[in-house]
Amino acid sequence: MKTTLQGKGLYKVFDDTEVLKGIDIAVQEGEFVAVMGQSGSGKSTLLYNISGMDRITKGEILFDSEDIAGHDDEKMSHIRLQKMGFIFQQSHLLRTLSIKDNVVLPGFKAGQKSREEVVAQAEALIERTGIAHIADHDIKKVSGGQLQRAAICRALINQPEILFADEPTGALNSSATREIMDIINEENAKGTAVMMVTHDAKVAARADRVIFLADGKITDEINLGKYSKEQCAARESRMMRWLEEQGL
């Protein structure tokens, strides 16, 4: 299987403190990897650095077999726009734009398709995620779950090879969490790789593989295989037992 993303010997230093300590990690094509660990373990730092949103102190980051660790800001921004998608705990949608306009904006900026094609892609995503009825709404007038659906549409508008998610359900209730994770699992089933940071065992149980970080190092991992709703309860129970072994 082709490797979509690989980090080799990743170190990150903040103010003389090592936050990442020689991490080796790979995400295969179409794989869903979740990252867990206690607060301060380096989870979000790993995600931000391996995606190029922050600069790694030392190590290699291979994306499409190319080392992107040394790319300048302009080249890295271009790669993130065209080949990566991002979802955060907060939607970070632009308050001056409607839901639909927020979704199409990255597509226009990428310049890979005509405006008509981008709009058609956005409308298909908005319909698929169940927010077509609020497409023209101001973002201040919709629910948190609807905002996250819009954020997913925005992240997918350029059909990324990998989707990065940092606590994507952290601000949502249990019902909205299930809905958002259903969408992420559906996208993963279509072949988009996913790397997600979460503190929620039920959310992590949706992943193919879960990695545990402690003090800036990978200390363990568990392979769950592809998610199915029929196996949901069993996967969650297995996750809880594994996390107890990690001291969570």
Q: What is the pLDDT of residues 85-112, one digit of tens each?
A: 999 988 889 999 999 999 999 999 999 8
Structure tokens at 3: 């490797």
Q: From CA 88, how far away is CA 132, in angstroms rounded?
A: 22
Asked whether residue 72 carries a pLDDT value surpassing 80, the answer given is yes
Structure tokens at 206: 């949706």
Determine the pLDDT at residue 234: 95
Neighbours of 212 (CB within 10 A): 24
Four-residue CA torsion sign, 201, 207, 208, 214: negative
Q: State pLDDT tens for residues 42-52.
A: 999 999 999 99
**DSSP assignment, residue 172?**
S
Which CATH number does the domain housing residue 106 bear? 3.40.50.300
Reported as a pLDDT band with limits 50, 70 and 90, residue 78 is very high
Give the count of domains, the chain: 1
pTM: 0.95
CA dihedral 41, 147, 189, 64 (to 10 degrees): -60
- Cα–Cα–Cα angle for 190, 165, 231, rounded to 5 degrees: 55
Asked whether residue 115 carries a pLDDT value surpassing 80, the answer given is yes
Give SS3 for 230: helix
Determine the pLDDT at residue 169: 93
Domain extent, residue 48, equals: 3-245
Task: With both helix axes pointing from N to C terminus, report the angle between 115-128 and 144-156 in degrees, rounded to the nearest 10.
Answer: 140
